[in-house]
Amino acid sequence: MAEDRRTRRSRRALGSALVELVLERGFTALTVEDITERADVARATFYAHFKDKEGLFARVTSDLLDELGERLRPAISDSAVGFTGKPVLEMLRHAREERDLYRIVLRGEGDGKPLQMFVDACARVTAEEFRARADRNGVEPRMDADLLARVWVGEQIAVLRWWVEQETPSMPPEEVVRQLLDLALRGRYWASGFDAPA
């Protein structure tokens, strides 16, 4: 039990050190020694858990996705029909709490692999939900679910990155979601200020 707590503490310290150092220096410039020194963890302890710094970054990203998945589950099950905005709102709230980690993942640090993990996981869950929602409501999608999910997730990630990169976000998450809901329901033509064509 004490060993498990010690292991968790070491992993948390290594993850926090990685995030801090990537923000300071960028991922490429980091060494395992930099990370262990900042975390105050022995190098042998690092190598007992991770092969290299890429392995640590992958684990930190995987943990982030697990946390996000837990938080999104109730919001997704709540959105039986159409876009409620609840999952996006929950993602923004999570990003506010884990801002620095989101920033380094969404910037594509680590040769873009953590970002690809993030995009692929979000697209997979989104496509599954689009299919399930169509089945629940007895409708036939007009686009392939995987393609639609990639379009949707790409937009959300672009918004998310813009939002977390601001020192003080220019709008609260609720307002971001309200505007995205308008966009989802009314389209880009309307959002650009034009009236619907006659």
pLDDT of 76 reads: 78
Residues 191 and 183: beta-carbon distance below 8 Å: yes
Domain with CATH 1.10.10.60 in the chain: 1-50
Q: In this predicted structure, what is the pLDDT of residue 51?
A: 96
For the domain spanning 54-187, the CATH number is 1.10.357.10
DSSP state of 166: S
Closest by Cα among 54, 29, 34 to 112: 54
* pLDDT of the residue at 4: 83
Whole-number pLDDT of residue 79: 56
Round to whole Å and give the CA distance between 102 and 166. 12
Q: What CATH number does domain 1-50 carry, 1.10.10.60, 3.40.50.11060, 3.40.50.2300, 3.40.50.1580?
A: 1.10.10.60
For residue 186, the surrounding DSSP H or E stretch is: helix 173-191
Residues of the chain with pLDDT under 70: 1-3, 78-82, 197-198
pLDDT of residue 6: 84
User: Which pLDDT score is estimated for 78?
Assistant: 61
Domain with CATH 1.10.357.10 in the chain: 54-187
**CB atoms < 10 A from the CB of 89, how many?**
19
Its pTM stands at 0.89
